[in-house]
Chain A
């Protein structure tokens, strides 16, 4: 393949990936309700979003669940990453196997298995069940991210800290965590994004008492294109892009250090 052909092919694939999103973003600023023709710039659809009570409630719910599940998953996932890279403990293989199951299992299977669990336990679907579900699918992503930072980690540092009198948990807090901090932060951001964007698992694990943004969007988009939906989606895309860009920068530090 000649260089020109390669550049053309790559550009075409990027166009395929980005054109629909670009159109969506552009039309969220379009001053027309009905047509897909450009009628001038407006922010009125965004202002409309700010006055939509149910939408704001759903957004607040989404952010709450995303922040809480990211925190819980980061704690559990980071500890698991340390354990997997440091110790050969009984059950180590099973732990990594079950983490792979979570990452591979189609969302709908994860969602239904959790639904059956919650219903069998008699738990009412809502905030609590949604949080449990989100923490569950976030943990492996944190673990994988932190684990890759810990590969090649000099465990002598931890031993040195302990020789100098630190307890194991002190050595973790004062030595390992600061060194793994960028990956831990990236893991948090990724969990936050995953939770904020999840549709299928939320669909089955929350109830009418606790609606989240992707489900609100789901019920809105089934009715076709609307400028308010474009505006809302643009906000969501913006949040995702920011989170991914920041976590990308955090993880790049490693290569420079």
Chain B
């Protein structure tokens, strides 16, 4: 969305509003203000409100109570386990996805389009369905246990489903394509001659990767980590379907506050934590130049 409008190097006349331009420039804008900006502010405001009975929120008594409760050990446990799981899934996705994206980006040109399409299809497939699909693999009579038993590697089925490991695998499995696509974008743009030059100048393979290739693909790494980490914190249906403790993810905790505990201010305050986390990551991400990579990934996913 950063394409410079109009022609370069020519004085532009002042922008005059016509009815058509009004609709084009401010139609979606007004929609976004009313249904994105305003609601995000309202959610932040809700975290300061008190619990009200009929409307769930009482804006007449504002306080920081909900935030004080965020400091409780209960929330700290959820936040720590959620961050660990989401962070772990992000790390595994990165380690798995980077070499894969590299292979994809350096594949013969005639194959590349098809290979990319194969990566894009899971990106668009409903992640609830993809989570559900894992049950058949992880169950006591699932494919993994059947294979391991068949090979004689284990004597009794492993308990894989309904464990924290299942949730971890679920996050990794559903979010891997979100890591691969931005990585692919920045690796494809990387000029192979730069690495060759580094090798010619005497750098070893490792040094070439660490000091030339990796820094130049950092925008893709940053974009991918953001696309995996943030959604991972919120995917409450993965623990619901694959088991593990019910309050393993921040998303599950927030959902419970809104739906079962009916403590909207507390739930809103937890959401604000997630928003702040997003803002921090976003700032880091813009600085690493990831915005272009994110844009490229979304476009490529199309």
Which A residues are within 8 Å of any B CB, using their own CB?
1, 6, 9-10, 13-14, 16-21, 23-24, 27, 35-36, 76-77, 79-80, 82-92, 94-96, 98-110, 112-117, 119-120, 132-133, 135-136, 139, 141, 143-145, 147-148, 150-151, 155, 167-169, 172, 186-187, 190, 193, 196-197, 199-200, 204, 214, 217-218, 221-222, 224-225, 229, 233, 236-237, 240-241, 243-245, 247-248, 251-252
Contact present for B141 and A35 (CB under 8 Å)? yes
Which B residues are within 8 Å of any A CB, using their own CB?
1-3, 5-7, 12, 15, 17-21, 23-29, 31-33, 35-40, 42-43, 46, 55-57, 96, 99-100, 103-104, 107, 113, 115, 117-122, 124-137, 139, 141-143, 146, 173, 176-177, 226, 230-231, 233-237, 240-241, 251, 254-255, 258, 264, 267-268, 271, 274-275, 278, 282, 291, 294-295, 298-299, 302
29 A-B residue pairs with Cβ-Cβ distance under 8 Å, sorted by A, are: A10-B100, A14-B118, A21-B129, A23-B136, A36-B139, A36-B143, A80-B25, A86-B5, A88-B5, A88-B12, A89-B15, A90-B15, A95-B32, A96-B1, A98-B36, A104-B278, A104-B294, A108-B236, A116-B46, A136-B32, A139-B31, A148-B302, A155-B6, A217-B132, A218-B128, A218-B240, A233-B132, A243-B124, A244-B120
Extra contacts, 17 of them, besides A23-B137, A200-B236 (Cβ < 8 A), are: A9-B103, A20-B133, A21-B130, A36-B136, A36-B142, A84-B5, A87-B25, A104-B278, A106-B278, A108-B271, A109-B275, A116-B57, A120-B57, A139-B28, A225-B136, A240-B126, A241-B125
Contact present for A221 and B124 (CB under 8 Å)? no
Contact present for B302 and A144 (CB under 8 Å)? yes
Contact present for A103 and B298 (CB under 8 Å)? yes
Chain A residues within an 8 Å CB radius of B31? 76, 135-136, 139
Contact among A20, A104, A108, A132 with B136 in the assembled complex (CB-CB below 8 Å): A20
Chain B residues within an 8 Å CB radius of A106? 230-231, 233-234, 251, 274, 278
Tell me, in angstroms, the Cα distance from A234 to B128 when the chains sit together. Answer: 13
Which B residue's beta carbon lies closest to that of A142? Answer: B28
Contact present for B122 and A17 (CB under 8 Å)? yes
Tell me, in angstroms, the Cα distance from A42 to B251 when the chains sit together. Answer: 39
Contact present for A13 and B100 (CB under 8 Å)? yes
Tell me, in angstroms, the Cα distance from A35 to B291 when the chains sit together. Answer: 48
Closest 8 CB pairs of A and B: A113-B39, A108-B234, A80-B28, A20-B133, A96-B1, A83-B24, A197-B126, A117-B39
Chain A residues within an 8 Å CB radius of B107? 10
Chain A residues within an 8 Å CB radius of B5? 84-88, 92
With A20-B136, A24-B132, A221-B132 in contact, is A241–B121 under 8 Å at CB? yes
Chain A residues within an 8 Å CB radius of B126? 196-197, 199, 214, 217, 233, 236-237, 240
Contact present for A105 and B278 (CB under 8 Å)? yes
Chain B residues within an 8 Å CB radius of A221? 128, 131-132, 135, 241
Tell me, in angstroms, the Cα distance from A108 to B55 when the chains sit together. Answer: 20
Which B residue's beta carbon lies closest to that of A88? Answer: B5
Contact present for B1 and A100 (CB under 8 Å)? yes
Chain B residues within an 8 Å CB radius of A6? 103
Shortest C-beta distance, A221 to chain B (Å), equals: 4
Tell me, in angstroms, the Cα distance from A241 to B123 when the chains sit together. Answer: 10
Contact present for A112 and B142 (CB under 8 Å)? no
With A6-B103, A79-B23, A89-B25 in contact, is A224–B278 under 8 Å at CB? no
Contact present for A79 and B27 (CB under 8 Å)? yes
Contact present for B302 and A24 (CB under 8 Å)? no
Chain A residues within an 8 Å CB radius of B128? 199, 214, 217-218, 221
Contact present for A102 and B36 (CB under 8 Å)? yes
Chain B residues within an 8 Å CB radius of A103? 294, 298
Tell me, in angstroms, the Cα distance from A36 to B145 when the chains sit together. Answer: 12
Shortest C-beta distance, A143 to chain B (Å), equals: 7
Shortest C-beta distance, A42 to chain B (Å), equals: 17
Chain B residues within an 8 Å CB radius of A197? 124-127
Contact present for A117 and B42 (CB under 8 Å)? yes
Chain B residues within an 8 Å CB radius of A113? 36, 39-40, 42-43, 271
Contact present for A89 and B3 (CB under 8 Å)? no
Which A residue's beta carbon lies closest to that of B12? Answer: A88
With A10-B104, A197-B124, A221-B132 in contact, is A108–B40 under 8 Å at CB? no
Chain A residues within an 8 Å CB radius of B15? 87-90
Tell me, in angstroms, the Cα distance from A112 to B266 when the chains sit together. Answer: 12
Contact present for A237 and B173 (CB under 8 Å)? no
With A23-B133, A86-B5, A109-B275 in contact, is A102–B234 under 8 Å at CB? no
Contact present for A80 and B24 (CB under 8 Å)? yes
With A24-B136, A186-B302, A236-B129 in contact, is A117–B1 under 8 Å at CB? no
With A36-B142, A225-B136 in contact, is A109–B271 under 8 Å at CB? yes
